[in-house]
Each structure stands twice: as structure tokens, then as C-alpha cells.
Structure 1
């Protein structure tokens, strides 16, 4: 497998969770990493962590839900680094009140705007350069909820992740002849800060059994290190103690 020396990687949602772990892994493989997100202090901490380990990183603060900010951010990264070779779309949210009985139109729009539209905006920002070079990789961090129907993730999140998986395949269908690869990574439960927004947060014991962010980060690196003639279309990765099969009191549908 090829190394990532000399590659420029842009990670949205790069300040925490899966985005942070993906940034650390890609930097360890030799890529120059740019992390984006809404909180500058979190981004600076990730960049400092990468630099302290001998890697190269900088930050591009933005809100993926705002198309103008994403377009400007992508242009700024290309101006600084000359190109973007790898895009990892890891920014994502859910609504605490996520079921039809309490889901508002505003919450629906906020989840879809970040998870789905934000992913599209970032792809749109890198495609022109990738087409010109006839090379590029887009990794979309979707979810088990993008492959199945899960009660506790709610309608908006589930819809956004199903759409992200479909959009990933559309991107590959349309752009593979231009050397552009697209991968959807669909994790089961991951111990990230988004768990705190659940109506009933899981216990520490259950969190310890889940996938950890670095597990998914290593999957992103695996995809990125494949040679250009290889595309990993999808990865479905779950905890061995898989509560999608086993259930749990905090994720059970009330009767």
C-alpha cells in the first residue's frame, strides 16, 4: 500500500471524535492534515497534537452547514497547500428530541443541513481540483443507521446517513472515470461526544464496549493508503458486543 507522504488531507469535524482520530492517523501516515470545525480551540489542540508527534497540520475553522464558509475554506486550503488530495467528511450532529413525537422542523433542518448538505458542500469544494488532477479520495463517515433502520437514532439522523451512503455511491458512479474514489464508512456505536445528546445516554460500561474513535480512524487510514486503482466502496464496522443485535435498556423502543 502507498504511504501518504506529500498528500493534503482535509478533515471536517476534525476537532473531536472520529474526525480527530482520522486526522491523527492520516498525519501519522505522512499526510499534511487540515482540520475544520466550529470550535477553534479544539482544532488548535488537534493540530498541536499532530505537530508534537512530528506531523504537519493546520486549521481552517468553519461551519459545514454554511455553504459559503465551506467553499471559502476549501479555496483557502488549496491556496495554502496547492491542492486537496483526501477529503474526510466527519462532521455530524443529532437532535436530542429526535422522534416524530417531539422532532421539530427546525431540528430536522439542522441535522440534514450539517450531516448531508455539509458533506455535499465539502465535496463540491474539492471536486474541481480532483478532476483536474484525475486523482482524489472522498471518505464519508456515515453510520450503521445509514445501512439499517435503527429506532434510537431518530428520523432525521437516519435519513441523513442513508442519503450520505447513496450520495457516496453516486459520486463514485459519476467520477470514477476521473480517478476519484469515494468510500462510505458506516460505524455502529462509537464512543464519541455525540452520545451525550441521546435522550438516555449509555452507561460508562456500555461506552467501554463500543467502537472507539481510533478504531474508525484506523479504518479511514486503511482506505486512504490503498493505491489509486483500488476503491473501498463501503466499510461496515461494529463493536463485537453489538447492541444492534443484543439490545440495551437505553436504546430500547418504549412500548
Structure 2
């Protein structure tokens, strides 16, 4: 497929999980992909895979919560690949303490900076160019935690994901008639590296029935590859089977609690 030939796509959190799979699929469809993430060596590996398949990739290590890092990264993207036609806000972070009774303020701020503020800053940077050209696509990976928040993701994560869902809806209602497609993807429980930091990391047999990174990437690929006249405003990607999470919720409830428990 070459549906994105001549387009530049910028993907955050591109070193692993959903970001990596999205970068591979958009590159296969002809887009030149800019890969943003924290670890240069991991991004270099993804870029090598894409280039081996005939694609174009530019790996850039950056802290997406740093305005200076984003300015530097976007400068390289514009200089080497051109203006950003597609922005995929995929990078995410969760707190180690899930219960708001004991959630440290610094963890709350960090989760909102990665999942919400960074999305705003990147959007603000690419939006003027998209509006000037009368076309552009911004995809943000939110979560079903935005709809049904609970102790699996935690208070900060749910709040941040609800915030970006609201922000993307704002973009849709405000700029759709100027050619902007604002798309929110709401994955259910997914087998990504973020699960490793949970209070009780799910076992392999549990992860096998979860949404896989490539499933979300395929949804993004579909939404981005459709004609500019069409927008899939909101996409839910959920596991067919719903597992029993009661034990996980109970463990999460007490993570970070003082000893002895109240």
C-alpha cells in the first residue's frame, strides 16, 4: 500500500508497543516516519527494521515533557522529512501508586505531563501548519480508563486519559471545517510494557487474550489511511474476552498505603 506516500508522520513512544507497530505500518503505507522516544538505541533498532523493508525513518531521542526537546526534535523533522502531516500521540505513563489517598503529588504531575500536557504541546506545535495547508491528522491514544476509570490504571492515569479525550474532542469540534481530523483511540486492557509496572503484572496466559499492540496500530492505520474527507472521530479497541480483575484491583487499592494499613 502507498496510501500515505509523500506524507510525514510523527509518532511518540515509537520504541515499543503500539508506537513501534504504528510506525511500521504507516511506513509500509508510504509515510516517512519520525520516531520519538526516550532511548536512542531502541529507536535506532525500529528505524533499522523500517529501512530494511524499504521505508523511511528518522529516530530522535527526546523527552516529550521538555519544551526544548520538542523544539529540537520538530526542527529536525522539518529539516529532514518536511512538515508533519500526521501526529500520533502514543507515549504514555502511569503512576506506581494507584489509590489517590496515597498518590504522591510528584507522580500525579508526571503522569499528567506525559499523557496530557505533552499532547497539548505537540499539537500546538504542528496545528498551525496543518490549518495553513487545510489538511492534517492528529491521533491520540487515550484509554478506556477515560470512560471507566478504576484502580488498574489509577487515579492519575484515568484523569489524564479523560483529559486528552476531551482535548481531542475540542480539536474535532473546533477545527474540522478547516481540514483537521482529530482522532481518539480508546484501547482496553492491552499487552504493552506498561503492564510490567502494575501492582500485579498479568501472567502470560492473561496477556494472550488482551488487545495486542498491532491491533491498535491497525486501527490507527485504518483511520489515517482513509480519505481526508472521512474522520473516525473515536475508536474503541477492546478485548473480546473480559477477564476477572478483582484480585488486581484489591492489590492496587493498597499499593503505597502506610504500614500498618488504615
Name the structure 2 match of 1:198: 198
Report matched runs for 1:1-255 at 5 Å: 3-243=3-243, 246-252=244-250
Q: Which runs of 4+ in 1 moved over 6 A?
A: none
| Count of aligned pairs between the two proteins | 253
Alpha-carbon shift at residue 118 of structure 1 (Å): 0.8
Comparing 28-37 and 145-154, the one that deviates more:
145-154
Q: Deviations over 1:210-242 (max 9, x none)?
A: 111000011110011110111111001101112
Structure 1 residues 71 and 124: alpha-carbon distance in aligned structure 2, compared to 1, 3 A threshold = farther
Give unpaired runs (5+ residues) of structure 2.
255-262
Alpha-carbon shift at residue 2 of structure 1 (Å): 7.8
Comparing 163-172 and 55-64, the one that deviates more:
55-64
Return the TM-score normalized by structure 2: 0.92
Comparing 77-86 and 205-214, the one that deviates more:
77-86
Alpha-carbon shift at residue 248 of structure 1 (Å): 4.7
Return the TM-score normalized by structure 1: 0.95
Give unpaired runs (5+ residues) of structure 1.
none
Aligned Cα RMSD in Å?
A: 1.6
Alpha-carbon shift at residue 82 of structure 1 (Å): 2.0
